[in-house]
């Protein structure tokens, strides 16, 4: 994954650029590979890893 806009640190992924509708703050990957976003909306609560990458990719295309 492009480290320009997502930096991986241990079990957590921090999205540096996110859609205004999502407003993701911190994304945590659980031991089972599930992804939980701590955000101001319920846009991406407990989504899969691939869905998270898709959201981020869409954001990169928008900007």
User: For residue 49, is pLDDT > 50?
Assistant: no
- The helix or strand, by DSSP H or E, that contains position 26, with its residue range, turns out to be strand 24-29
Q: Which residues, including other chains, have CB under 8 Å from residue 10's CB and lie 6 or more apart? A: none
Asked if residue 27 belongs to a domain, the reply is yes
> Contact 23/39 with Cβ under 8 angstroms?
yes
What's the pLDDT score for residue 8? 45
User: Residue 34 falls within a domain, yes or no?
Assistant: yes
| Contacts of 5 by beta carbon, 8 Å cutoff, 6+ apart | 15, 16, 17, 56, 59, 60
Domain count, the chain: 1
Distance CA 57, CA 10 (A): 21
- In which domain, by residue range, is 57 found? 6-62
- Between residues 50 and 61, the one the model is more confident about: 61
- Kindly state whether residue 1 falls inside one of the protein's structural domains: no
Structure pTM? 0.20
- Mean pLDDT over residues 11-37, rounded? 54
Q: Does 15 reside within a domain?
A: yes
Does any domain span residue 22?
yes
Q: What pLDDT does residue 26 have?
A: 59
Domain assignment present for 33: yes
Per-residue pLDDT for 28 more than 50? yes
């Amino acid at each position: 994954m492009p480290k320009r806009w997502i930096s991986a640190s241990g079990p957590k992924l921090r999205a540096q650029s996110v859609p205004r509708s999502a407003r993701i703050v911190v994304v945590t990957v659980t031991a089972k590979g599930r992804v939980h976003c701590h955000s101001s909306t319920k846009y991406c609560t407990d989504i899969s890893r691939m869905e998270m990458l898709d959201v981020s990719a869409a954001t990169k295309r928008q900007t």
